[in-house]
Amino acid sequence: MERAAKRELVSTLNDVFNTTSVVVVAHYAGLTVADMQKLRAQMKQAGATVKVAKNRLAKIALEGTDVASISGLMKGPTLIAYSSDPVAAAKVAVDFAKGNDKLVILGGAMGATALNVDGVKALATLPSLDELRGTLIGLIQAPATKIAQLSTAPAAKLARVFGAYAKTGEAA
């Protein structure tokens, strides 16, 4: 790899580390090309990205970023999974590691907070940003729906009462 390409990779990784909210580091030794493609596809579908970079270049890119705490994990054949959604990369990595024992999660970082393996697994159990938004919208809409039901319910009850009186008046 030429120096210019290395500089480009370091600056790209530095931008990634500065802009993403979560980074997961894992060993991928023994993964086949098909497995790696499957992992990349799953990450892409969830809105996350997987990158394999030289550890030395990744450590240089980590300097001065919030996620610099993961530089100690950069030993051996490592891959970096990252996403802007705080849960997406961790969720896909943990799910993939459950089905494939060759992917070993080492840890990660969420902002300035370093995460160990258990931290990444706990992060993976949280609902995604889209799920949280859906829940929040449902909670906001629920009171409005109930108010609408309450405001129409008395009118419907009155109509039924008047209808019952009208029927008894006709029968009499």
pLDDT tens across 28-43, in order? 988 899 999 999 999 9
For range 141-155, the mean pLDDT = 67
Q: Tell me: the pLDDT tens digits for 101-119?
A: 888 999 998 888 888 888 8
**Spans of all domains in the chain:** 3-126, 127-172
For range 54-61, the mean pLDDT = 89
HSE-up of 2 (CA within 13 Å, CB side)? 3
Residue 172 has pLDDT above 90, yes or no: no
CATH code of domain 3-126: 3.30.70.1730
pLDDT band at 146 (very low <50, low <70, confident <90, very high): low
pLDDT at 160: 75
pLDDT band at 153 (very low <50, low <70, confident <90, very high): low
pLDDT band at 44 (very low <50, low <70, confident <90, very high): very high
CB-based burial label for 153 (10 Å; 0-12, 13-18, 19+)? exposed
Residue 54 has pLDDT above 80, yes or no: yes
Distance CA 116, CA 30 (A): 22
pTM comes to 0.71
Paired strand residues for 109: 23, 114
Distance CA 168, CA 55 (A): 88
Among 6-10, 40-44, 121-125, top mean pLDDT goes to 40-44
Distance CA 159, CA 153 (A): 10
Residue with tokens 């086949």: 32
